[in-house]
Structure 1
Amino acid sequence: MNIGLSRRPKIAGCLIAFTLLFAQGAFATDCDSGESIILNSQSSVVNFQADYGSGRVCDTITGDLWIGGDDIVDLRPLSGLASINGSLLIQENSLLVNLAGLEGLTSIRGALTIRENPMLEDLDSLSGLTSVGMQCDRSFILCPSIVINRNDALTSVAGLNLLTSTQGDIEISSNPKLVDLDGLSHITEIGGSLEIIDNALLSNIHGLSLLTIVGHNLVQSLAIYGNPRLTDLGGLENLRKVDWLEIDGNESLVNIDGLQSLVDPGRWIYIFSNDSLLNVDGLRSVEYTNDLRLGYNAALSDCQGVVTLIDPIDDHEPGPGPGESGIPDLLVAHLNNNAVGCNSVNEVLGAAPLSQINAGLNDAWFYPETSGQGLFLTVYPEIQQMFLTWFTFDLNRPDDSITAQLGDPGHRWITAQGKFAENQANLDVWMAKGGVFNSPAPEVYLEPDGQITIEFNSCNSGMLRYEFPSVKRQGSVPIERVALGNVPICYVLDKNGTFPADSRTAVSTDFSVK
């Protein structure tokens, strides 16, 4: 009995307190705005609850909230806000240094836009946000975005660290003091585009380390351009799918290795005007795309990262091709205005390592320093023999009284023949003597004179070593093809051992002009 009696006053007290609070309107409610709320001065911020709370503390805005005014310096009068069913726009607040007062905000169904706030230093007070941009139309074509744009003093986006996904875009652009994206460290999926544009001091994007998908809502892109301090794409190692990839105008970008897990780049890969980019090894996992464009990357000489994508072999069946390029894993390839090695499909194929001499090496070859002089190579795979003719000449015809050390004065024909194994041929040399062009007499005769060894590094490069004992001459010269037309044949024979009957699929056009 004593226990029961002791409880009654406590229960009664709680009921009285509850009744008093309810009577005084202390419970949070929707802000009575009708539609959007516009706060364009410090006084409108201070009077927010008085104007829209209807005598209570309102915590939910049913429409949009716009905050923008030249004298706004303090958002703490908004501290009761918990959710916004529309969008939040914080724009053109010339004196606003921080967002203190928004710590209780947990969700924004519409867009979050923070733009042109020149004194704003951080977004720390948004650290309670768990969802933004979930209010798409039925088709998921139009979804709200997160835009952080033109905030001159902003150094961090750390206040967004509880967000894990968004249905719309994320744009981080023209924030000249922003150094990293660590505030996006929990983002795993972006339904729209991710645009990282013109951030002068941005040195890394490691904060994107959990991101796996960009652009599952129709045509969306991953665009990274105009970030002069960005040296690599570390942080994107878990990214597997985008719909459109654009890397453009990042002058310090050395590699794109961070894209190493990207399998599905969607419709386009555009990599342009990255002056320090050395290779595209980060694209080695890409299986197919519609349109590949690599251009105006001044230092880009190694494009082996896309060799299986642009080669004549269908690595991903069924690929989208062959289109105009005749390449099975994509429709169009444009490689131009890069460093030597990345200016055409055949140039890239020609740089791929060669494991076995094959008939695709049959061609005219030369040493570029002696233009006009060169070799003809013919490979006979069935008997593992290579035949070589080497023609050299003097730039100026020597005097008739001069006796040539090797061959006839002014010009010489050297022939060689021998066995090959793997990527090396060992040839016996025969010196052609006598004979006159277009004349049956005097007859040509051959004399044995030394050895030639050719080791091929690729379908377009090799090292020729020679030794002529009769004149005590030996040395080596690098050789390459005069033209690249047969490179795809060599490449396919090396990889497959046979050549497909469908020549349109097997031989790609040279795109050096594109």
Structure 2
Amino acid sequence: MRALRFASPLALGLALLACSPEDTPGDEEAETDTDTGAAQTCLDTDTPGEDIILASDADIEEAALSGCVAEHVIVSGGGITSLAGLSELRQVGILDIRYNPFLDSLAGLEQLERVDQLILTGNNLLIELPEFPDLALGRATINANDGLTDLGSFPATTSMSRLEIDSNPALTDLSGLESLTGVSGNVAITNNAMIVDFTGFEAFTAIGGDLEIIDNAELDTLEGWGLVSVGGDVRVSSNPKLSECLAQAFIAMLEVGGAKIESSNESGLCD
């Protein structure tokens, strides 16, 4: 990972001006709707500038990010204890919150409306995510958060382009993503020691890419997932409490566009 740096006030000012709601007379195109019917924002029209790296609470306060920010915002460091200073932020290109040893809450981010990519990695004091009532996620990586037990709630996220939930040893289920109906790319649910089923995925019916369900130590059923089709490969393997027969039956009932792989689950549990 590159050395942490805090973007200059000039660069931050330019980024914020680019996302200003005050359009010039030649900006009519930026006001047109997207294919989904939603109004375009800076995430659709602006070229992201340099990464904005926030390594302390003071950096967050100085940056004073608000509205729409197209850049990759990296929040990382021992000086981060609160995200309250990001409460005016509404849309972000990439929001990357990683390796913050003293951050125990995402309070301050509840008003987010759109994040094209969310990364939550290595925030070991983080116990639960808040409710994000209006947040539409594009893609998400939630991994290596040792204390995380609860994904919070994302009722406005109905589709995504990629989802990875990996190596969260205290996470017990996938509740919080109940509104998700499909992911156009890959999905990986791997190495989550306490997940026992797929509660929370009842409405999730389609994956366009690959599906991996691997190394989940307590997973003993695939119930709870309303999955119907996977466009790429399906791999269900190395889940020591999951019956090999259940894994085979789960894959068999899916419409699969690629390879079907099941191995190293518990063969002794087959009837």
TM-score in terms of structure 1 length: 0.40
* 1:145 pairs with 2:72: yes
Choose which of 220, 224, 241 in structure 2 pairs with 1:301: 220
2:52 corresponds to 1:113: yes
Say if 1:335 and 1:194 are closer, same or farther in 2 by CA, change over 3 A.
Answer: same
User: In 2 relative to 1, CA 298–159 (structure 1 residues): closer, same or farther, beyond 3 Å?
Assistant: same
Alpha-carbon separation, structure 2, partners of 1:344 and 1:281: 20
Q: Does 1:179 align with 2:115?
A: no
Q: CA 1:178/1:343 → structure 2, altered by over 3 Å: closer, same or farther?
A: farther
Task: Give the whole-Å Cα distance in 1 for the aligned partners of 2:199 and 2:156.
Answer: 16
Q: What RMSD over aligned residues (CA atoms) do the two structures have, in Å?
A: 3.4
Q: Name the counterpart of 2:145.
A: 227
CA contact (8 A) 2:146 2:169 kept: yes
- Structure 1 residue 212 displacement after superposition: 2.0
In 1, Cα distance between the equivalents of 2:118 and 2:108? 14
Q: Secondary structure at the match of 1:148?
A: strand
Residue 128 of structure 1, CA deviation: 5.0
1:194 to 118, 126, 130: 118
Higher RCO (C-alpha 8 Å, min separation 6)? 2
Q: Report the Cα distance in structure 2 between the residues aligned to 1:158 and 1:342, rounded to whole angstroms.
A: 45
State the Cα deviation string for residues 366-387 of structure 1 (Å, max 9, x = none): xxxxxxxxxxxxxxxxxxxxxx
- Equivalent of residue 234 in structure 2, options 319, 333, 344: 333
Q: Give the superposition deviation at 1:266.
A: 1.9
Aligned length: 227
Deviations 1:219-266 (A, max 9, x none): xx3000010110021132332122110001111000111111111222
- Give me the whole-angstrom Cα distance separating, in 2, the residues matched to 1:231 and 1:338: 20
- Bigger radius of gyration among the two: 1
Contact 2:164/2:189, CA 8 A, preserved across alignment: yes
Distance 2:211 2:74 in 1: 28
- Partner Cα distance (1:238, 1:131) in 2: 18
TM-score, normalised to structure 2, is: 0.71
How many percent of aligned residue pairs carry the same amino acid? 23
Are positions 1:65 and 2:8 aligned together?
yes
Name stretches of at least 5 consecutive residues in structure 1 with no aligned partner: 1-38, 41-63, 67-80, 88-108, 135-143, 215-220, 310-314, 316-327, 351-487, 493-503
- Aligned AA (1:302): T
Gaps of 5+ in 2: 17-47, 266-271
Q: Which amino acid aligns with 1:179?
A: D
> Counterpart of 1:84 in 2: which secondary structure?
helix
Q: 1:207 to 1:129 in 2, by over 3 A?
A: farther
Deviation at 1:291, TM superposition (A): 1.2
Q: Please, which of 84, 87, 90 is the counterpart of residue 161 of structure 1?
A: 87
Quick check: 1:246 aligned with 2:175? Answer: no
1:359-508 to structure 2, matched below 5 A, reads none
Please state whether the residue corresponding to 1:159 is helix, strand or coil.
helix
Are the structure 2 counterparts of residues 283 and 180 from structure 1 closer, same or farther at C-alpha, using a change threshold of 3 Å?
A: same
* Contact 2:238-2:264 at 8 Å conserved across structures: no
* Whole-angstrom distance in 1 between the partners of 2:104 and 2:243: 32
